[in-house]
Structure 1
Amino acid sequence: KGMTVYRDGSRDGVLISKDEKKKETNAFTETAAPKRPKTLEAKIIRFNNNHEKWLAVVGMMNDKPYEIFTGKAEDAFHLPNYVSTGEVIKSLNKDKSKRYDFRYKDKDGFNVTIEGLSRSFTTEFWNYAKLISGMLRHGMPLKYAISLVSNLELSDDSLNTWKNGVVRALSKMLPDGTKPKNTTCTECGEDDLIYEEGCLNCKSCGYSKCG
């Protein structure tokens, strides 16, 4: 039987050399974030962090976290305990600067709008939240975003407390059974950790850590 040999480049799209395959594997792909609509559905996550009550507002797009704002509940706006969902609305001030408002429905079904999310949280927390939101909207897998935030080395105690709060909030968004990135159990050393209801649980020894 006859045999046909193709030289690299002689049949574009038919044969791919090993070097080309390697280049594809090592490709560094840039992403473009989907355009934010004026209004995003949002989830409210409440949790305790160092014995303090914290609140997170997570804007969702296609059932995935798109942006996150979080801080101490006492520093944030007043929100009734029954509110678990709402909308984050991108608005313009008179001077054309941008702001984010939060809207929810009260018990009677009427809309209640709280203007200026940015002034409801500490400035430092807000600025870091914008960075993390940028990672989320550009498609960083959630477990990698959690790993990155949890490994931040911050000298300020309040920022470390905030960091733990962000990790706790984002962890609650992970599907049960998700394995963390490059993490082994601190108790038994096994690589058998999974996320369940926002907590990191070891299936080997029963160790559990929330946040």
Structure 2
Amino acid sequence: LSFTRNILDGEHLVEVNPYFEAAMKDSGLDEPTVMEKVAELGSIGDMDFLPDDIRSTFVTAMDISPEWHLRMQAAFQRHTDNAVSKTVNLPNSATEGDIAAIYRMAYREGCKGVTVYRDGCKSVQVLATGEGQKKMDAGDSATDAGASTVNAAYRSRPDVLSGFTQKVQTGLGAMYLTVNEEDGKPFEVFATIGKSGHSITAKAEAIGRLVSLALRSGVPVRDVVAQIKGIGGEHPVFRGKGLLLSIPDAIAWVLEKRYLTDEHVKSVNDIEVSKKCPECGKPLLFQEGCLNCPACGFSRCG
């Protein structure tokens, strides 16, 4: 009926359903403060000063119980071969148990799928009403506080640091990775590959700067490795028992080998790679995103 639209630069606009606006005008109740109140509450069900005919006519998705949302979907599903889609809207106060009950009811009613959305469950949503907006505002405050904490933990660089430089052969040429340490822990990373002015050199420098920023801000090296390990590239090369898929994957390999030798970090981009074909034992080739065996035709993608 009336909602707050979140647009660029953090601005908020109150927009009103044209039919609701027309009905309110006919009743002489179309004042901006009323529309803002509707947007704040997300419903007019409890606004006793509005005429009963308007309150009973303009019922919103949030006024309808989740069970009746699902019954509407089930009514259409019974006469349709394909899966019927409908969002079951839940208030911000909905619990995990409430959502579980909807899933079970969807199964009993014969629905082929179900979509639920709890108002305010995302840090940002395009349309927000009532409690959902309050929840997002609280999240913004928490984010700001968290950002301040991270900034406060950012360590300035000492005048003198020591470390090591390792040469790593990548599919794009030899990369020289320099890791400087403080108290035996990685503090900053410099990745150099190719000649100055080339795009690949710029990309390697950018990755090094971001990894350094994370390390100097207190992010554990394990988390850094997990984020960049397994990122695929167009020219992977074999290294030991696996592949170095890209420049970030090579940086992760060096950091893991040096600082995490007693544990295996599961990558958020986890890819299983093998040097030999599981069918015939011949070497595999990485082509167009797939591991292919030229000897027997074995292929594994993704």
Normalised by the length of structure 1, the TM-score is 0.44
Structure ranking higher in helix proportion: 2
Structure number with higher relative contact order (C-alpha < 8 Å, ≥ 6 residues apart): 1
- Higher-Rg member (1/2): 2
With structure 2 as the length reference, what TM-score do the two structures score? Answer: 0.32
